[in-house]
A and B are shown apart, each in its own frame.
Chain A
């Protein structure tokens, strides 16, 4: 931990500053409110001072020497001719492949074991980019950030490449022999010592395979471990049997979320985001929905809600019961302390609003909430007649629904007791992810033969005898089911990069009598039994579409608990279970565990794209932190970057502090997934391992936390103040948010917030534009801040990763950033709300950048794009200095990895790979525009509306970004811009940006808005 001064923010000063302002105030950070020197540095300079100095690890002198030499060499290089290139055509051309034209294949990615449908772009056999599959129910054409970064996992140079036994390279046949011997011992004893550990399994083929192993070894056991799973188990406990719930947000007028981050988290998040925001796109014409969120730590869903109530983890259940009671529910009197004060008023108002919308309301409980909260949510939905309307229950999707914590604990106990002789771990990393109380590594040590298969030589591989390198799902056959049971057959796009790689199906086949079967045969044989007479044709169709049509659940009784009735009747036995007491008694500091919002439970920790992606709410990169409310931090004498020791149930871990506006008092949130020790070159050394103090009986929260200062500090690379616009937010109205009431009464309320100079107020002649005028509309009322667009842009445009130290200097290269503004008062968490604003290049018609470039490296195109010409750029950075939106990015160093062979395979061949010393920025995905133009012209027609989708647009689950031709008055983007909530950022500068925003419209409940309570906008003055 390095010595960096912790940033101390004076909350009194913040208070004074907020009191001095009128109307709504939006702020990026506590530092901005306090106007700390660090913030002003970011505000007034494009880069903080000395950002262009390379002060480590080599000295300045050494740097100049090296630079001098490379300059001389660069000059010489300029004189050489182009090197001779070879062309290597096919010998036998494969079907369908046309060089220069990408192909798209439908498959699926896994999120907690569940499928999200994707289409993968392939250039001459190289998968390069992931898009959503519009036909898949969990995707609807969108992807999330992890889905976009998934392709990088395939090319990760740290992937395990060889099969090893105790670290030495072995052949597959030797592995098979070892398995044969071990199984020969197990066979006569019914496999009593055999254990299989997987993650959550929805794959029908894998489930069938495991069943057949269990049939051969009846005493063997199958365990499932999902570090951040268990939501299904909580719901199952609430209703008495496993099932799945589907929520129809598009039908719900009023939504109450009990700690459900439904737009960001879970196997149906993309669909939820789409359907929830569909009701917020035309606030006046179509009735808007209203969202209440009660949550123990700020999440994107909570921060964009119309009303948000932060409660300590122990108070959520009491609140839920209070709502239920107010609705006439029979559930016990409110438990906990949530019955008092503003929470009671909030509960009463929510109950009233819910009661007014029977059958058109929805209560959703989060996956990390206990069964008791799920039961209350279910009971309210029943009472209001929402079941069958906004909530639809179906049979469980998982092959065998279990509580992952109980399952892993049972395995750990068996191992400790010496009852396990052969342990096969498939694609799971329990040595890192297991809660600390299970002491999993020590328990594993007592197993005679340990086999691990996975993508990395990770923590579990290190304590296993055999390690079989896993095949990435883009290079192996498989299948999986979505949240609603829809099955996808996952097809490979490329042969495994490493010969030794095997898919989980193939590793499991090693336990069977036919150990050498390949995954394709295993999957195809299974589906032949499922698809009936017309199997071959349906198989081909399923591969093409990415879903298996007309199949919902395996034939042959593989599923447990197949409650065939789907809707209302299943669930009346709600003897609302009481809360478990394992979380400890309320009081004191409470700790909350959550998966990291970018790298999840740690499985994506080695993907640089996701490490460098700012977390949606905190905007931290490359690190996790202990999130503490500002007042609690002040009481404990803590500030950002202070390292504290978290003591919880006899275990300790050191963590840097991050003060989090909107966090409930006396609650500390820590994120899992960091502190890897064998995660790869990117993962190792980032953050701290929160699971070191996590326990399996209370995996999500508990009380009795003790926080001790250590005196150390750690530099946290946080991007929340980077690229700050000198908005003095209220004065310049960079972000505009109004209430539905205001907007309905006076639709001009948005445009009145800023003046737009006349078109002729410029010294330069107006441009004459060609047949098209490209433009973009970004709906702030739809944006949920999920960051999928940012990673989509990174993948599409070959944007490099710069590393934690460079990010801390404000040199991140993302062309598209999502600004997060807070509103409300930081010391009153219930008033804090947030607003997300994606900011790409605005493609100004009067572009300030173009006028200052001395070498015409940034020039206007005939269709209104600000073209950036890399080859002309000499790196003066004048353009960047003159850009009021701060969207230009400079390659201070050679950030691109030009050497690692696998990473080269990922790059998009349609976009130049930039070198150092060059300015770059968003191009509106000009390569996609040109491709669409050429296709249209070749077919002798015009470009159709919607034919061009920018990368950010196609990834967005909320359809917040729309791009096309402004010359066409009927185009979707033109119609959006005709809405009265349309406004241009900093329009008073007369830049005439082509990208404009649709103002956010919130729909607060008048009953709650009247009080100085949890209202988002924070009216004052």
Chain B
């Protein structure tokens, strides 16, 4: 009986088996990368807001402290979205005729809240607490990125669990002195790991990775 396939197909079949391995591994890798991409995580995508509030202008330009608006960041789980009253503290005096700010004035007039679009949205089964992090030397920009350069707010980090765990396992990579927590200009020093280790000790930071730390 003559051979159905030429001998060279042996090589071809070996190659294709080998190639299939690569294909499978490659597609798994690609899937993981897609899952980490901004398409899924929404990181890096600026959101439309009812009022085009600019952190770049207020934080970077005017130098307003984070806590002027996000008042409960040191005491509560949520940092707090400022009430309309906070906007009107200044904007009843300046830019008080600006058409862009009409929704703010309307809200103040009618008592109807401004409906902001949420940018940082953790899943409901993750219980994040701002005060616990801020009081232990985790700076605002560590998670929220260069807020002073964001005209419209966008999500800086992936907010995925591996991202959380990266810091929860090795906090020394990210912690900074408490007095720098609200600084947008702070940059990690060259010996961050060394300084970080000292801070972890000084601040009694516990590397907690138990599930119930965040999931209840």
Contact = CB atoms under 8 A, between A and B. Distances in A.
Nearest to A862: B210
A91 B112 contact: yes
A869 B77 contact: no
Contacts of A897: none
B62 interface: no
B72 A98 contact: yes
A93 B76 CA distance: 15
Contacts of A98: 72, 75-76, 80
A86 interface: yes
Given A92-B83, A771-B206, A911-B216, A934 B211 contact: no
Interface string B73-98: 01111101111110000000000000
Given A86-B117, A863-B210, A923 B80 contact: no
B2 interface: no
Interface in B43-84: 72, 74-78, 80-84
Interface of B: 40, 42, 72, 74-78, 80-85, 107-108, 111-118, 121, 123-125, 127, 129, 131-132, 135-136, 204, 206, 208-213, 215-216
Question: Which of A84, A100, A940 gathers the greatest number of chain B CB atoms within 10 Å?
Answer: A100
B75 A101 contact: yes
A84 B118 contact: yes
B124 to A, nearest CB: 7
Contacts of A49: none
Contacts of B83: 89-93
B216 A923 contact: yes
B58 to A, nearest CB: 16
Given A85-B118, A88-B115, A89-B84, 12 more contacts: A86-B117, A91-B112, A93-B85, A101-B75, A862-B209, A869-B215, A870-B215, A871-B125, A927-B127, A937-B204, A938-B75, A938-B132
22 contacts: A82-B121, A82-B123, A87-B115, A87-B116, A88-B116, A90-B113, A92-B83, A92-B85, A93-B83, A99-B72, A99-B78, A100-B77, A101-B75, A860-B210, A869-B215, A912-B216, A930-B127, A930-B212, A934-B129, A937-B132, A937-B135, A940-B204
Contacts of A912: 124-125, 215-216
B75 to A, nearest CB: 6
A494 B100 CA distance: 36
Contacts of A745: none
A126 to B, nearest CB: 16
Given A910-B216, A930-B127, A86 B118 contact: yes
A770 interface: yes
Contacts of B72: 98-101
Contact of A91 (B74, B80, B107, B136): B107
Interface in A69-94: 81-82, 84-93
A863 B208 CA distance: 10
A770 B204 CA distance: 13
A92 B88 CA distance: 10
A602 to B, nearest CB: 36
B113 to A, nearest CB: 5
Most buried by B among A89, A770, A861, A926: A89
A288 to B, nearest CB: 39
B118 A87 contact: yes
Given A89-B84, A937-B136, A867 B210 contact: yes
A869 B211 contact: yes
A859 interface: yes
B43 to A, nearest CB: 12
Given A84-B117, A100-B76, A863-B210, A934 B132 contact: yes
Contacts of A91: 83-85, 107-108, 111-113
Interface of A: 81-82, 84-93, 98-101, 770-771, 859-863, 865, 867, 869-871, 910-912, 923, 926-927, 930, 934, 937-938, 940
Contacts of A860: 210
Contacts of B112: 91
Nearest to B114: A89
B168 to A, nearest CB: 12
A769 B129 CA distance: 23
Contacts of B82: 89
B210 A865 contact: yes
Contact of A871 (B78, B84, B118, B215): B215
Nearest to B134: A938
A867 B212 contact: yes
Question: Which of A863, A870, A910, A937 has the largest count of B CB atoms less than 10 A from its CB?
Answer: A937
A86 B113 CA distance: 11
Contacts of A87: 81, 115-118
Contacts of A771: 206
Contacts of A89: 80-84, 113-114, 116
A934 B76 CA distance: 9
B117 A930 contact: no
Contacts of A930: 127, 129, 212-213, 216
Nearest to B85: A92
A92 B109 CA distance: 11
B110 to A, nearest CB: 8
Contacts of B132: 934, 937-938
Given A870-B215, A910-B216, A86 B116 contact: yes
Nearest to B50: A86
Top 7 A-B pairs, shortest CB-CB distance: A861-B210, A100-B76, A100-B77, A90-B83, A867-B211, A85-B118, A89-B81
A861 B212 contact: yes
Nearest to B69: A89
A86 B210 CA distance: 30
A136 B127 CA distance: 34
A770 B115 CA distance: 43
A937 B178 CA distance: 14
B128 to A, nearest CB: 10
